[in-house]
Structure formats: C-alpha cells, structure tokens
C-alpha cells in the first residue's frame, strides 16, 4: 500500500451530503476507502452514494441528526453492521445559527452550536474508540476552523466551539495514543461551500478577502479533502493531537480573516 492509499479502510463522515464533507467522502472513496455518507437528509446522502458507486466506489448512506445521541448510536451501529469495523471517523457536521456578538446569542442558538459542533464529536469518538482499541488503530479527524484560533466580532460562539474541538482532539490523542489511535483537527479558512456562502457570495466582499490571502483565492472543498486523506492514511501515521491549518495563508497575513 502507498502512503495515501486507503484500501481496506472504512470511514464514517458526518455532514457528508455537501461541501467539505461530500468532498472528503468522494475523495476517500477514490483513495480506496469504504465510506459511510451521513447527514440529516437521507435523499441527499443517497445522491452522494450513487455518485461514488458510479465511479466504482463502495459507499452507504445513513441518515443522522448529530444533535440526538440515540441517532449517533444508531449511525455507528449501522456502520459496523454494514462494514464490520470503522477505521476513520470524520466529524464534519456543524451549525452556526447566530451571527453577531457572543453577548447577544440566545440560549437556544448556543445549545445548538455546542450540541452539534462539540458534543456530537465527543459522543461519536466515544462510540468508535472501543472497536479501534480492539483493532489497535484508527484515525479520528474533527473539522474545526480558523475561527477557533482567532477572535471575531460576529461568529464568536462558533469559534469557541471550534476551539473546543481542537482541545478535544488533544485530550483524546493523549488518552488513546497508546492504542494506536490518532486524533487531529483540520482548521479550514474560508471555503467555497453553502455553509460559508454569506462570506463569499458577494463579489465585492470576496475580492476583498482574496486580496488579503497570500494565495489570492478562497479554498475549495477538495483542499480540505486532501488533508483528510493525509491524516487517515499511513502518510499521517505519526501525527496526533494536532490542528492542521488549511487556509491559503489567511492566518499568517496581517489582515487575513
């Protein structure tokens, strides 16, 4: 097997019906993995699965609202029933129902962000780790954000949740590393997805952002998918507890966002 070959692996990916999650599912399948495509809407998942199968890949669609613990349990149970084991978990599902100062967020929005962006990743990790321990290996990848590294006046609670994912990865990595389990986060910058549409669909705003990025462009979902494959494959076998920033240089630029 090559350093980036995922043949024989099974990957469960949340929020996989579009954007970054879909790109990770499609590219991991191309790299040889069997993938579980999961999101709230089964029809959207099945569309991704059909595309993967049309290219000769192996994929299964399982609906899951990650804010419900019983659905998280069902997702892992069904994935194990379908494929027998799980080598890689990608926690990608996330929400951000509040734009504005953290001090103006209401309780409902706060709970949605924390339940989806933080609790779900912890519970999923708890559910997959036992069988990874038995098999003496596995990779957990949490999709974070550079918002977890920087201060912001409009998505502060979202950023706090993403910083929590980074801390979660470090702590899980310390506890479970002796069993060959690696846990890392990817912190994307601005990526061209529906989730971040408000930040890039305005051509004037986008041009302003891209002018501040050293690479002079915002990211594409495949830019994150490549990093996820790296962390899941043997190429990343000595990396754990880390946050890999994939942001076109945004965080190194004076005026980057």
In this structure, is residue 2 part of a structural domain?
Answer: no
| Residues shown for the chain | 257
In this structure, is residue 4 part of a structural domain?
Answer: no
In this structure, is residue 5 part of a structural domain?
Answer: no
**Residue 77, C-beta contacts closer than 8 angstroms, at least 6 positions apart:** none
Q: Which domain holds residue 189?
A: 10-252
What span, in angstroms and rounded, lies between the C-alpha atoms of 186 and 77? 26
In this structure, is residue 164 part of a structural domain?
Answer: yes
Could you say which of 83, 99, 158, 238 is catalytic?
158
Q: Give the chain's domain count.
A: 1
- Tokens 């790109």 found at: 23
Provide the whole-model pTM: 0.95
Q: Active site includes 158?
A: yes
Provide the b/e sequence for 138-162 (b: ≥16 CB within 10 Å). bbbbbbbbbbbbeeeeebbbbbbbb
In this structure, is residue 26 part of a structural domain?
Answer: yes
Q: What is the CATH number of the domain that holds 146?
A: 3.40.50.720
In this structure, is residue 128 part of a structural domain?
Answer: yes
pLDDT value of residue 256: 52
Torsion over CA of 114, 96, 35 and 226, rounded to 10 degrees?
-110
Q: What is the pLDDT along the chain (257 residues), one digit of tens a residue?
A: 799 999 999 999 999 999 999 999 999 999 999 999 999 999 999 999 999 999 999 999 999 999 999 999 999 999 999 999 999 999 999 999 998 999 999 999 999 999 999 999 999 999 999 999 999 999 999 999 999 999 988 899 999 999 999 999 999 999 999 999 999 999 999 898 877 777 677 888 888 888 888 999 989 999 999 999 999 999 999 999 999 999 999 999 866 55
In this structure, is residue 115 part of a structural domain?
Answer: yes
């Amino acid at each position: 097997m090559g350093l980036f070959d995922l043949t024989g692996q099974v990957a469960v990916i949340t929020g996989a019906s579009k954007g970054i999650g879909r790109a990770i599912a499609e590219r991991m399948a191309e790299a040889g993995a069997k993938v579980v495509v999961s999101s709230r809407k089964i029809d959207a998942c099945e569309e991704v699965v059909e595309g993967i199968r049309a290219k000769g890949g192996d994929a299964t669609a399982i609906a899951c609202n990650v804010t419900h613990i019983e659905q998280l349990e069902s997702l892992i149970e069904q994935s194990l029933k379908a494929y027998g084991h799980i080598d890689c978990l990608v926690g990608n599902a996330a929400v951000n129902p509040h734009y504005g100062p953290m001090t103006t967020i209401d309780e409902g929005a706060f709970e949605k962000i924390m339940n989806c962006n933080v609790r779900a990743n912890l519970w999923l990790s708890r559910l997959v780790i036992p069988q990874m321990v038995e098999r003496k290996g596995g990779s957990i990848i949490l999709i974070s954000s550079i918002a977890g590294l920087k201060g912001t006046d409009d998505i502060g609670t979202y950023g706090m949740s993403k910083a929590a994912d980074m801390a979660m990865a470090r702590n899980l990595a310390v506890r479970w590393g002796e069993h060959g389990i690696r846990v890392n986060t990817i912190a994307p910058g601005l990526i061209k997805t529906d989730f971040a549409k408000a930040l890039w669909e305005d051509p004037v705003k986008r041009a302003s952002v891209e002018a501040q990025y050293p690479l002079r462009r915002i990211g594409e979902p495949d830019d994150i998918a490549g990093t996820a494959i790296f962390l899941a494959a043997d190429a990343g076998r000595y990396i754990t507890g880390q946050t890999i920033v994939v942001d076109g240089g945004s965080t190194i630029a004076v005026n980057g966002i």
